[in-house]
Amino acid sequence: MQKSAIPFSLRLATSADIPALHSLIEASVRGLQKNDYTLEQIDGALGTVLGLDTQLVADKTYFVAEAKAACARIIVGCGGWSNRKTLFGSDHAPVREPEFLDPATDAAKIRAFFIHPDWARRGLGSKILEACESAARVAGFSRFEMGATLTGVPLYLQRGYHVLERIEVPLRNGAALPIVRMAKSDPVGIS
Ligand SMILES: CC(C)(COP(=O)(O)OP(=O)(O)OC[C@H]1O[C@@H](n2cnc3c(N)ncnc32)[C@H](O)[C@@H]1OP(=O)(O)O)[C@@H](O)C(=O)NCCC(=O)NCCS
């Protein structure tokens, strides 16, 4: 099936989606990150560095991608953006920075993208990213930044982001998770 013909739709996440999002995130991480991280890194990161930030749901800056199943719609992907300082991590991450950013001088944060393994490489991550960048532009941002997993880097490179720095995030089990801070700016005059 052509990517453009894949039947899914985007909407903002609500608090009713939270249980489904936790399941989706675990399936995504365990299924899609296994070539990039060890089991020890994944076990140490899930629920802290990798997981749901419910602040984004409350802020109405978190999207879900839904696909039509037999008799219902199921959530097959999620991702968001934020006008708060936190760069990455779930509700239980060791570092939380809820202060608001200034769109005139700061980069909006692109946050917490997770696609179900059965739906990977069908364009969902790209569509959610476009929706996030568009919403952040409406809020006045022209620069975007994220703490990307190694698994996320090819998507973000393909979408025009460049690498700023590589970071090792210490995990609760003694392992460390390499992530990559990436950024992109709109050309001057685009809004
Ligand atoms: C990273 C992730 C969100 C990408 O989502 P996706 O829906 O599969 O991405 P898309 O289908 O939109 O990919 C667009 C392009 O990005 C690149 N890309 C995406 N995943 C890739 C991969 N695993 N290997 C190489 N290139 C990849 C390709 O250029 C791809 O285009 P193509 O399929 O036509 O070659 C998904 O792999 C995921 O959920 N991973 C686990 C969780 C995670 O690490 N999230 C990132 C947090 S920062």
User: 110: CA distance to ligand 1 center in Å?
Assistant: 15
The rounded mean pLDDT for the chain is 95
Question: Is 47 contained in some domain?
Answer: yes
Question: Is 191 contained in some domain?
Answer: no
User: 94: CA distance to ligand 1 center in Å?
Assistant: 26
User: 155: CA distance to ligand 1 center in Å?
Assistant: 5
Range of the domain at 40: 3-185
Q: How confident is the model at residue 3 (pLDDT cuts 50, 70, 90)?
A: low
- Per-residue HEC secondary structure of 88-120 comes to CCCCCCCCCCCCECCCCCCCEEEEEEEECHHHC
The pLDDT of residue 188 is 79
Question: Is 152 contained in some domain?
Answer: yes
pLDDT in tens, 152-178: 999 999 999 999 999 999 999 999 999
The pLDDT of residue 97 is 95
| Position in ligand 1 atom list of the atom nearest CA 110 | 48
Nearest to 23 by CA among 92, 74, 95: 74
The pLDDT of residue 185 is 97
Give one word for 60, left, alpha or beta, with left for phi > 0 and alpha for psi -120 to 50: left
Q: Which amino acid is at 127?
A: K
Work out how many domains the chain is built from and give that number: 1
User: 31: CA distance to ligand 1 center in Å?
Assistant: 12
The residue whose CA is least distant from atom 17 of ligand 1 is 155
Are the C-beta atoms of residues 61 and 83 closer than 8 Å to each other? yes
Name the residue of 56, 155, 157, 166 to mutate for ligand 1: max ligand atoms within 8 A of Cβ.
155
DSSP 186: P
Question: Is 95 contained in some domain?
Answer: yes
The residue whose CA is least distant from atom 32 of ligand 1 is 121
pLDDT in tens, 43-92: 999 999 999 999 999 999 999 999 988 788 999 999 999 999 999 999 99
User: 8 has which bridge partners?
Assistant: 67
Q: Does residue 50 line the site of ligand 1, with CB under 6 A?
A: no
List the CATH number of the domain containing 25: 3.40.630.30
Question: Is 190 contained in some domain?
Answer: no
Please give the model's pTM, rounded to 2 decimal places. 0.96
User: 174: CA distance to ligand 1 center in Å?
Assistant: 28
